[in-house]
Amino acid sequence: MTQSTTCWAVVPAAGAGKRMNADRPKQYLELAGKTVIEHTLSHLLQANVFAAISVAISAEDGYWPELELSTHSNIITAAGGKERADSVLSALTAIRAKASDDDWVLVHDAARPCITSADIHQLIDTLYQDKVGGILALPSHDTLKNVQGGAIVGTLDRNHIWRALTPQMFRYGLLKAALEAAVGNPAVTDEASAMELQGLQPKIVEGRPDNIKITRPEDLALAQFYLEQQNNG
């Protein structure tokens, strides 16, 4: 990690997380004595590579100001948006005055608390000289079906199928332009898809399987198990 270009982290954290059926957004659920988002941000801070972390928070979010990390000197609070892409764009705009177009931005879901410094360093070290950037991903071990109306209409060749994780690492200027061009497009569910729509081909860097996204209630127990394993290892 001897590179000199600045790296920023952007954390979209303005989702409601309705699939959790909880009384609060999933990033504020308790996991091993802290909230999910505190684990996520602590792990990003521990990686010790970011000039600052820009976090997109919903206007109705009363939980964020209660957290000590919300006033951390390396953490910037930005307004959340309607969709994930709007939140990322807002977090990028919040660092506009300080970031250069060539700087790297690593966008990481607030709902992925088990991210490790090893994964972050691996992504940066692999892509640092790249023109476009890329994402952490995992090869699919399951056979994937194309389903319409409850019936299978095709089987995807799993040798070509990867599951997109975060962080997703792109140059500030290209990423901001790609997201601005993609506003309102429901097919843009991650940063890589916005870049793809620009005709670019982001790279794949194999990540760790413990970098799960908290989506359903049972994911919390799994995340707790992974965090314990990481602490023991």
The secondary element (H helix, E strand) that includes residue 195 is helix 191-197
User: End-to-end distance of the chain based on CA atoms, in angstroms?
Assistant: 22
Task: Tell me which residues in 163-202 interact with ligand C5P (CB under 6 A).
Answer: none
C-beta closer to ligand C5P: residue 130 or 196: 196
Q: How many helices (H) and strands (E) does the chain have?
A: 6, 11
Task: Tell me which residues in 24-63 interact with ligand C5P (CB under 6 A).
Answer: 27, 56
Q: Produce one character per residue of 187-199: b if its CB has 16 or more CB atoms within 10 Å, e if not.
A: ebebbbbbbbeee
Quick one: which of 52, 77, 80, 223 contacts ligand C5P (CB under 6 A)? 80
Task: Burial-class residue 219 by CB neighbours within 10 Å (0-12, 13-18, 19+).
Answer: buried
C-beta closer to ligand C5P: residue 90 or 116: 90
**Taken in order 19, 208, 164, 146, is the CA torsion positive or negative?**
negative
Supply φ then ψ for residue 74, to 5 degrees: -100, 10
Q: How far is the CB of 87 from ligand C5P (least distance, A)?
A: 3
Does 83 contact ligand C5P by CB under 6 A?
yes
Quick one: which of 7, 13, 114, 120 contacts ligand C5P (CB under 6 A)? 13
Give the C-alpha separation, 51 to 37, whole Å: 19
Omega before 209 within 30 of 0, i.e. cis: no
Q: How far is the CB of 149 from ligand C5P (least distance, A)?
A: 25
Quick one: which of 6, 35, 54, 87 contacts ligand C5P (CB under 6 A)? 87
C-beta closer to ligand C5P: residue 128 or 183: 183
Interface pattern 142-161 for ligand C5P (x via CB under 6 A): --------------------
C-beta closer to ligand C5P: residue 11 or 99: 11
C-beta closer to ligand C5P: residue 130 or 213: 213
Task: Report the DSSP beta bridge partners of residue 132.
Answer: none
Tally Cβ neighbours within 10 Å of residue 230: 14
Contact positions vs ligand C5P (CB under 6 A): 12-15, 27, 56, 80-84, 87, 109-111, 213, 215
